[in-house]
Amino acid sequence: MRIIIVGAGLVGVQLARQLVEEKHDVSVIESNEERARYVSNRLDCMVLHDEGNSISVLKEAGIARADALVCVTESDEVNMIICGLAAEYKGLLKIARVRNDEYVRRNFQNIGEERSAMGIDFFIHPDVEAARSTLDAISHGAIGDIFSFAGTDYELGSIGINPGSPFDGLVLAQFRTLLEGESLVTLVERRGECILPQGTTELAAGDRIYLLAKEQVIDEGFHLAGRDEKSIRKIGIVGGGRLGSLIAAGILRGEIDDPRIRKNDKGFFSILKTFIPKNLRNVVIIEQDYGICKDLASRFPEALILNEDISDESFVAEEKIDDLDLIVTATEHQELNIITAVYLKSRGVKRAIAMVTGSGYVAIARQLGIDVVIPMKSVVVDSILSKLMGGGIRGLRHIGDGSTGILEIVISGGSQAEGKALKDFHLPEGALVMLVDPAQRSVDPDGEKTVLPADTFIPRGDYVYTAGHRILLIARNGTEMDIMKIFGKKQ
């Protein structure tokens, strides 16, 4: 694909890097000279130091022959204007990062007729993406990174191995002697490196495994690793901005108000577990800005709103913040989020979730004892990549250090894999099929999708791949094209 990215901030650079790794033709437009130079020196792609909201610049970047335009500048308005400038190019996929709910809601209502008012195909809402990941973690007790997949009972849990635990020194071939029920160790993180394990792989203290299984088995895995779920009734949220208020709404009201969601979105990654048990209603929001606090107090009368500086040690003691079951640090400053989470855990808070900018801080935050780390920019990049890939790929979620991702794929008719077992074709090195969803979906007259009964399962070597089946596949970055040659339509 030929892709133009406007904006070379953290999201733009990470997106460009991953697309270049997948051998796509990428052009980057950036108005800041220093950022433009940074991308030019590090990535093998065209870089234009100029304003993206200029049709002449877009033409210079190759808009006439591009397949997609992705606008991720810091301004919602600029992103939407650039997409509007490119509206005359038919067949061009247009994606805009937009934070303002009203912009998204107004335009999203028109999608499905012909096009949105600004000609935008997909809106990426960064705060909503991050809030969903946070609520999913809370719904599991914030005991670690857990990914849920809509329409299936299976989850992917990230479990750290403690010294002396039953997992310490265990060879994977013997893994099922500890856990009853179907399960699969899909990935092992060891000293900053991601390993796709084999039966002979021996686990060790300090490793982190990604276990695919049903919820009860995942819980038992955390128990064996010494990470029992604790009751979470009193939750503190540091930062009452857009992200913090979305998380509060999810906890107190039971769901996120996302103007992009349609009732018939049923993919693995479409709507995760964003519903929080009703007994989790004791919420404290700590925000330094008085104006924001007034707004929060009117929106969430059932919550305790504190207009305070979280870095003030006397405030923590006076307000008994250290008796929280969970702290969620959701300010705009990742260093403050990490430090606050670590400090409050040292004061007795049981669990901590911290927002960081990118995947580079995830390992650091985990080493410091933070239970769940949400890399916000990586979540946004994954959402954009899911829209760009097409060709049967319905979703993408990166895990670990960001070098490995989970792909949701619908097997195409006439593909290399159709009608064959795994022994009859070879996956790229570093790829593994984790889960198969054979459900066949049909649309009723009212437009709602109906799912016919079918059980999701972890495939064995003799499973015959069937067109229309959905699969979850874990793979290293750079293998996307090879995977789609196997499961996608023949060119």
For residue 107, is pLDDT > 70?
A: no
Q: What is the mean pLDDT of residues 480-488?
A: 82
CATH number of the domain encompassing residue 365: 3.40.50.720
Same domain, 354 and 442: no
In eight-state DSSP terms, residue 98 is -
pLDDT value at residue 123: 86
pLDDT tens-digit profile of 339-357? 999 999 998 888 999 999 8
**Over 359-390, what HEC string results?**
HHHHHHHHHCCCCEEEEHHHHHHHHHHHHHHE
For residue 250, is pLDDT > 50?
A: yes
Apex 125 CA angle, 73 and 386, nearest 5: 90
Same domain, 21 and 116: yes
Same domain, 19 and 119: yes
Is there a domain that residue 389 lies in? no
Q: Which segment of 153-167, 229-243, 286-300, 308-322 scores lowest on mean pLDDT?
A: 308-322
Same domain, 243 and 375: yes
Same domain, 276 and 318: yes
Strand order in the sheet with 234-238: 304-307, 282-287, 234-238, 326-329, 351-356, 372-375
Q: Which segment of 40-49, 76-85, 160-169, 389-398 scores lowest on mean pLDDT?
A: 389-398
Same domain, 365 and 438: no
pLDDT tens-digit profile of 25-42? 999 999 999 999 999 999
Is there a domain that residue 367 lies in? yes
Instruction: Read off the pTM.
Output: 0.75
Is there a domain that residue 137 lies in? no
pLDDT tens-digit profile of 404-416? 888 888 888 888 8
CA distances from 446 to 12, 217, 256, 263 (A): 39, 38, 25, 11
Structure tokens at 340: 């606050």
Beta bridge partners of 3: 26, 68
pLDDT value at residue 425: 80
For residue 274, is pLDDT > 60?
A: no
pLDDT tens-digit profile of 189-244? 888 788 888 889 999 988 889 899 888 888 888 888 776 656 678 899 999 998 99
Domain that holds residue 203: 144-224
Same domain, 20 and 72: yes
For residue 323, is pLDDT > 70?
A: yes
Q: Are strands 193-195 and 183-190 parallel, antiparallel or unpaired?
A: antiparallel
Same domain, 88 and 150: no
pLDDT value at residue 41: 94
pLDDT value at residue 490: 64
Same domain, 271 and 374: yes
pLDDT value at residue 439: 65
For residue 44, is pLDDT > 90?
A: yes
For residue 267, is pLDDT > 70?
A: no
Is there a domain that residue 138 lies in? no
% of the chain residues with pLDDT over 70: 84
